[in-house]
Amino acid sequence: MQALVDELKNLIISHLNLEDVDPATVDANAPLFGEGLGLDSVDALELVMLMETTYGAKIGSSDVGKTAFASLSSLARFVSENRKK
């Protein structure tokens, strides 16, 4: 699971152009939005599309999205359970 967390860190930082963020300093259990990584609602839409195109993991509702995007750890669990092989 740690390999997937690291992959997601790099993917998100690269895709969202977070050039000033070092993947090594990102806490996998910190919130992705607000105080944590500091993402916003536009970033959320990008992440939904990124998870679908990269992993085939569809976010079917806002409740699923809130749970999946709570942190990198929760996102890794979601991707692991929902990715298309």
CATH code of the domain covering residue 12: 1.10.1200
Helix, strand or coil for residue 78? helix
User: Residue 22: inside a domain, yes or no?
Assistant: no
Tokens of 49: 């599309």
CB 79 within 8 A of CB 4: yes
pLDDT for 32: 95
Give yes or no for residue 29 having a pLDDT over 80.
yes
User: Residue 21: inside a domain, yes or no?
Assistant: no
User: Residue 23: inside a domain, yes or no?
Assistant: no
Question: For the chain, what is the domain count?
Answer: 1
> What's the DSSP call for residue 34?
T
User: Residue 24: inside a domain, yes or no?
Assistant: no
Helix, strand or coil for residue 61? coil
Give yes or no for residue 85 having a pLDDT over 90.
no
Contacts of 61 (CB under 8 A, 6+ apart): none
Per-residue confidence at 5, pLDDT binned at 50, 70, 90?
very high
User: Residue 77: inside a domain, yes or no?
Assistant: yes
Domain containing 57: what range?
Answer: 2-16+29-82
